[in-house]
């Protein structure tokens, strides 16, 4: 097994543990709070963040860790290899009672997400990206996922009749809509959190255009899964989206399974 696969499975184990904590908070009905910028945060975000950081300290003590809940955007990691974490991606969906929220953990090396795990605890679905992309079902009553029944994922080539486009459920802006309008579309599927990358990785959609702002921890794990499935994520300049940028803010990007030009 490749090192990237081992890391992806480790991240998957940690994400499932954090996901169990998130589901406990969900069951308790605790209400959301707000950060200083007005964005929502819950006890689930904070508990999951603590669990993930503690597990990473034990297992990968040499690697710097950047998480949404503990990182100041003014602090830029200087290491060429680090871990990016969003302990609860899709907090709005979580607060609203949707199932489309995820735990995201990714290893970034030289600006590229080489290994990642995306776990949707309310759906019981775990996606991994390493040497290959994988999906497995997780029984929330189990302490750890069973890796014996794992599905290899491959992104598909776009069909001639048009693109199946996956879009943000909460952040479909005018620039993204204009991009959609310039392409032949056979289906438009809204989805929350980093699941959009995973939907493309498993061949259920072809492209995810995103022109509204995102942070690196929102995208790195899903990006790793999609890369491992044969996809690409490019900025508006056509160059591959990279990580470790000042402020951890992503530019506009388009994530493809297999683009028409390939």
The rounded average pLDDT for each run of 10 residues, N- to C-terminus, in the chain (262 residues) is 88 96 87 58 91 97 92 65 95 88 97 97 96 93 82 94 90 89 93 95 97 95 98 93 93 88 53
Relative to beta strand 163-168, strand 185-191 is parallel
Q: Where are the alpha helices (DSSP H) in the chain?
A: 3-28, 43-59, 91-96, 174-181, 195-201, 216-228
Handedness of CA 143, 25, 36, 190 (dihedral sign): positive
User: Are 56 and 64 spatial neighbours (Cβ–Cβ below 8 Å)?
Assistant: no
Stated as kind and residue range, the H or E segment containing 38 is none
Domain boundaries, the chain: 3-153, 163-256
Place of tokens 């503990």: 70
Q: Which CATH architecture has domain 3-153?
A: 2-Layer Sandwich (3.30)
CA-CA distances (angstroms) from residue 65 to 18, 34, 70, 194, 238?
A: 16, 23, 9, 19, 28
Q: Mapping DSSP to helix (H, G, I), strand (E, B) and coil, where does residue 1 land?
A: coil
Q: Tokens in use for 89?
A: 């991606």
* Residues 134 and 150: beta-carbon distance below 8 Å: yes
d(CA 262, CA 253): 17
Specify burial of residue 241 (Cβ count, 10 A radius: 0-12, 13-18, 19+).
Answer: buried
Structure tokens, 224:
């790793």
Q: CATH for 163-256?
A: 3.40.190.80
pLDDT at 144: 82
Q: What is the DSSP string of 180-213?
A: HHTS-EEEEEEE-TTHHHHHHHTTS-SEEEE-S-
Q: What is the greatest pairwise CA distance in the chain? A: 50
Give every CB contact of residue 88 below 8 A, 6+ residues apart in sequence. 22, 42, 44, 45, 48, 94, 101, 102, 103
Q: What is the pLDDT of residue 74?
A: 47
The per-residue pLDDT for 41 is 77
This prediction's pTM: 0.93
Instruction: Determine the Cα–Cα distance for residues 79 and 225; give it in Å rounded to an integer.
Output: 22
Q: What confidence score (pLDDT) does residue 37 get?
A: 57
Helix (H) or strand (E) holding 158: none
Give the HSE-up count for residue 153: Cα atoms under 13 Å, Cβ half-sphere: 29
């Amino acid at each position: 097994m490749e090192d990237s696969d081992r890391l992806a499975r480790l991240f998957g184990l940690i994400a499932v543990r954090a996901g169990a904590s998130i589901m406990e908070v969900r069951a308790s009905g605790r209400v959301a709070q707000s950060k200083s910028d007005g964005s929502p945060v819950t006890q689930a975000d904070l508990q999951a963040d603590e669990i993930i950081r503690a597990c990473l300290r034990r297992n990968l003590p040499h690697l710097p860790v950047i998480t949404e809940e503990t990182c100041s955007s003014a602090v830029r990691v200087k290491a060429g290899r680090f871990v990016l974490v969003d302990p609860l991606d899709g907090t709005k969906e979580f607060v609203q009672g949707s199932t489309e929220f995820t735990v995201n953990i990714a290893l970034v090396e030289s600006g590229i997400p080489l290994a990642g795990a995306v776990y949707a605890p309310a759906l019981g679905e775990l996606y991994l990206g390493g040497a290959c992309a994988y999906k497995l079902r997780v029984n929330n009553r189990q302490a750890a996922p069973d890796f014996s029944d794992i599905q290899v994922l491959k992104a598909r080539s776009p069909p001639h009749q048009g693109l199946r486009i996956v879009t943000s459920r909460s952040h479909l802006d005018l620039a993204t809509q204009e991009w959609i309008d310039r392409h032949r579309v056979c289906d438009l599927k809204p989805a929350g959190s980093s699941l959009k990358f995973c939907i493309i990785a498993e061949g259920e959609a072809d492209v995810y255009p995103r022109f509204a702002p995102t942070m690196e921890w929102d995208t790195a794990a899903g990006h790793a899964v999609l890369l491992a499935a044969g996809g690409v994520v490019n900025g508006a300049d056509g160059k591959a989206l990279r990580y470790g940028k000042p402020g951890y803010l992503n530019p506009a990007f388009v994530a493809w399974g297999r683009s028409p030009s390939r």
